[in-house]
Amino acid sequence: MRHSRRAFLRAAGVGLAWAGAGRLAPGRDGKAKPLRHAHGKPNIVYIMSDELGYFELGCTGNPYIRTPNIDRLAAEGTRFMQALAGAPVCAPTRCCLMTGKHAGHTSVRRNDGGTPLRAEEETVASVLKRVGYATGGFGKWGCGGRGSTGVPEKHGFDVFVGYYDQVHAHSYYPPYIVRNSEELKLEGNGGGRAGKTYSHYKIMDEAVKFLRANAGAGKPFLCYLPVTPPHGMFDIPDTDPAWAIYKDKDWPEEARRYAAMVTMLDRQVGELRALLKELGVEKNTVIFFCGDNGGNDYFRDKDHPRGFFGPNVHPKTGKAFRGHKGNLYEGGLRVPMIAHWPGRIRPGRVSDHLWYFPDVLPTLAELAGATAPKDIDGISVVPELLGEAAAGRKQAAHEYLYWEYGGWSAVRMGRWKAVRPPRKDWELYDLDADIEEQNDLAAKQPDVLAKMKALAEKAHAPEVPGTFHDREAHERDRRAKWGGKAPARARGKVNTMPSDGLIPNKGWKIVRASSESKSNGKLARNAIDGDPRSLWHSQWAEGLKTHPHELVIDLGKEYEIRGFRYLPRQDTGWNGTLKQCELYVGGSATDFGAPAVKATLKKLKTAQEATFAPVRGRYVLLRTLSAQDNAPWASVAELGLLGK
């Protein structure tokens, strides 16, 4: 049975949108009227939790993770059921939020950790700074590494403390974090998963200092908190009160750590609210809380095939958003979103209004009495937040919403959602009738699809990222994840490639690789070097390359080949671990014919093999078609060939 969007949402025990106190027409010129603030410009606290899934809060029905403070924020404010990320991964979604542009117009469309904003681009911070706001950011930036045109202090932030680069942000115990491009040392840390100073505590301490300083000075402030928990290495100090809640649960340890990180953040949301009350600014402060992209299916097992905590699974019905972080089905885009402002945002309200991250900039600009840039794609949702009477106009709606990432494209037009996965045809779904995106109507609704394809073509402009004038500090930040050591090699005990039945690889040579990650030494030759601690990774930092990825190997002479053996990366990550691939055998490096085998591999750290009828040849071509994490890249620790 197909499940409609409204039925899906109602089953969570929620209502739909409150229409607001009256419906007043816009001004004669059709433009929004500026808001009048009885107590001056409102302060804005915007909290974004990295990786938090749609159904991972108590207020959305999650039965595992305790979030009483966030639940109270929702009960005393408005919770949005159709808030969508700007992109399905970290850096591109942050760029959409900061700039008010959709992913077809942004400068940061890659998720490589350092791609920068262009020098001239406006952000939420620069817009609010012009009208007198103090602007502070605390957490993970993701819109430009050190030494680039995209650093936050050049885009309106008086201060930004945390991580500029996403790889740096994977560790909660790096030797330093960054404050306005300068290193802020963290005592007793050597990178990785252990140390003396938990970075998130330090980042939150800096946010508290910012709030105290500016509330005390009577200056309106924007406090942007794109915090890292629960993303990255799932680490939390054993002394944190949140760990005590979960440490004895009969769950996988990583799942217990993840839950504790969410509950820790929930406690800190409560502490921030208490601080605002102490400082006497609670009633004039708007708080937003959201996730950054769709949830990931972490800690899957046979009983929890969509992740232990079911970030995209309705806890009451079991029905699920299709997909997850990294793709453009609903599971990659749906985020929790809450807005709270005492006396201005109606408490206990649940809104079905459709909006997404490009709408944040014009919304905050209107709340602050600022003028948004003309080149944005977002629409202010102030009428939906405060009511149409307070805003002085009806809520405008998007003609369409647009996303692109890693070969994916998607368009939302009212009830219709068109999705094009990489190297596949467009699909069309009626989300009002089919929230799980199971019934493709592309063939039955060609006129609707044609219109949406035309909108997608209209929405896409060529990517023009910012630039680096010096990459040295940026690369240092990336190495800081492991304390300054290059992360190319796995640490500790690793699995090895069983040698039985393998053709000796002495004398093998890489003839051609479609790409390789040169910036961190993950080169094609690592796939045949006999060392399980090194690996080949497709290019991503210097410009993202997508599937299919290819390796062509010269074996030195002709062999009878009957299969291949694959060893995945042996570090703690899964990036690029192969799922679907093909192996070809040929007599030349350029002519291979049909594949000898098409293989689907499992998500394992041990070696796997695929066999086929014996074929003679001197050259082999490995072609990757997909990865276990559904990401556009590929990685191989070791590739072996069965034969003689």
pLDDT in tens, 484-538: 865 444 556 899 999 999 999 999 999 999 999 876 678 999 999 999 999 999 9
- The helix/strand/coil state of 533 is coil
pLDDT in tens, 168-204: 999 999 999 999 999 999 999 999 999 999 999 999 9
- The helix/strand/coil state of 327 is coil
- For residue 490, the model assigns a pLDDT of 52
Residue type at position 620: V
| Beta-carbon-side half-sphere exposure of residue 199 (alpha carbons within 13 Å) | 37
Residue type at position 173: Y
Torsion from C-alpha of 364, 273, 214, 337, nearest 10 degrees:
-20
Q: Given 3-state DSSP classes, what are the helix, strand and coil percentages for the chain, each rounded to the nearest 5?
A: 25, 25, 55
The reported pTM is 0.79
Position 154 pLDDT exceeds 70: yes
Position 331 pLDDT exceeds 60: yes
pLDDT in tens, 7-19: 555 554 433 333 3
Asked if 121 and 383 count as a contact pair (C-beta separation under 8 A), the reply is no
- For residue 30, the model assigns a pLDDT of 34
- For residue 59, the model assigns a pLDDT of 97
Position 359 pLDDT exceeds 50: yes
- For residue 112, the model assigns a pLDDT of 84
Q: For residue 92, give the H/E element and its range.
A: helix 90-99
Neighbour tally for 455: CB within 10 Å = 18
- For residue 491, the model assigns a pLDDT of 54
- For residue 113, the model assigns a pLDDT of 77
Q: What are phi and psi of 168, to 5 degrees?
A: -50, -40
Going along the chain from its start, the domains and CATH numbers come out as 43-399 (3.40.720.10), 488-643 (2.60.120.260)
Mean pLDDT of 409-433: 97
pLDDT in tens, 25-63: 233 233 444 455 545 899 999 999 999 999 999 999 999
- For residue 466, the model assigns a pLDDT of 97
- For residue 117, the model assigns a pLDDT of 98
Q: What is the 3-state secondary structure (H, E, C) of 109-161?
A: CCCCCCCCCCCCCCCHHHHHHCCCCEEEEEEECCCCCCCECCCHHHCCCCEEE
Mean pLDDT of 211-215: 97
DSSP secondary-structure letter at 222?
E
Give dist(CA 163, CA 99) in Å, integer.
19
What does the mean pLDDT of the chain come to? 92
C-alpha dist (Å) from residue 547 to 110, 407, 408, 584: 15, 9, 12, 16
Q: For residue 260, give the H/E element and its range.
A: helix 253-278
Position 634 pLDDT exceeds 60: yes
Position 292 pLDDT exceeds 70: yes
pLDDT-derived band at 4 (thresholds 50, 70, 90) equals: low
- For residue 7, the model assigns a pLDDT of 59
pLDDT-derived band at 637 (thresholds 50, 70, 90) equals: very high
C-alpha dist (Å) from residue 206 to 142, 178, 179, 201, 299: 19, 12, 10, 9, 32
Give dist(CA 38, CA 23) in Å, integer.
22
Residue type at position 155: H
- For residue 5, the model assigns a pLDDT of 58
